[in-house]
Amino acid sequence: MNVATLYPTLRSRVRDALDHDRGLLNSVRKLRYLLVQGPWQPLVVRYYQKFGHNPPYPVAQITQIAPLDVDGAVRRLDRDAFSPGIHVGEETVDEIVGYVKARGSRWIENPHKACAAVDRIAHDPVIVDVARGYLRAEPILLETRAYWTIPTPDEQGRVFGAADGGQFHYDVADVKSLSVFLYLTDVDDESGPHVVIRGTQARRTPQQIFTRMLDDATAERRFGDRIQVIRGPRGTGWFEDIATYHKQAHGTKVRLLLSLLYSLHRRPGVPRRSLANRQG
């Protein structure tokens, strides 16, 4: 086995084994969250920013999105872990949707490898500038995903659909990461819109770190004025650090979403179960 692939292969095998023991998986996940998010996190982030030596990230010559204030987006991300304002044109959206429908899959891993439109977005100069600004380093494209949310009936025959059961949660992709989300279908209140709680990305105590899930009542009580529902026509997108609390609201309509995940340190490894279907 190639030495370069040994660690990611072992990591993938350990993860597969843990998937069969949910209790052990949750314990290991909590330990990892503690190591990544404790009071030492800023030091770890600064270390990788200074000594990571990430290779230059390739950038497309032409942007696919409407004009956007890069510095303003970075400031909002630093404060809120969220910044709206991405708008992609109909032609690009049509190209991605056509590719997804031709594949006929509910979710597609790394569509940028086969769909030129996704690849252009992944290397878009505006998006890359925001990623560089937020990560304070050359970004690493960790993964891309395109996936449908398809509502299914519950016990009472009501049709709902949402990732992670529609509950607020946070995810940890790396010591620091940035996600880009793009609606590929029109999204209203019945389409399972993404919901984010701005400014909840910093966790330093074990209690904060181990509280990965929040029910709606707790979220409303603690962060009511920071809860933001993201609606919009297809082509609407936003930047988000998924370490902030977020969820997909329940919906009765299908929704198609594209996600791109950039990391500070973590490299793409052996294919594994995606973070995307947990991000909402």
Nearest CA-CA partner of 120 in 99, 102, 103 = 99
Percentage of the residues of the chain whose pLDDT score is greater than 70? 83
Q: Quick: pLDDT tens for 30-52.
A: 777 777 888 889 999 999 999 99
Res. 256: pLDDT tops 80: yes
d(CA 68, CA 84): 10
Which has the minimum average pLDDT: 78-87, 148-157, 186-195? 148-157
| pLDDT for position 166 | 80
Q: Which residues contact 98 (CB under 8 A, 6 or more apart)?
A: none
Nearest CA-CA partner of 235 in 123, 131, 85 = 85
How much is the mean pLDDT over the chain? 88
CATH fold of the domain at 3-279:
Jelly Rolls (2.60.120)
Listed by start position, the domains of the chain span 3-279
SS3 category, 183: strand
| pLDDT for position 276 | 43
Give the full edge-to-edge strand order of the sheet including 246-248: 213-214, 168-169, 246-248, 194-197, 227-230
Task: Identify how many contiguous H helices and E strands the chain contains and give both numbers.
Answer: 10, 13
SS3 category, 117: helix
Amino acid at 237: G
* Mean pLDDT on 90-104: 98
Q: Quote the pTM value.
A: 0.86
d(CA 254, CA 191): 6
* Mean pLDDT on 197-215: 86
Res. 99: pLDDT tops 60: yes
Helix axes 3-18, 22-37, angle to 10 degrees: 130
| pLDDT for position 24 | 73
In angstroms, the Cα distances linking 100 to 64, 147, 257, 259, 270 are 19, 8, 10, 13, 23
SS3 category, 185: coil
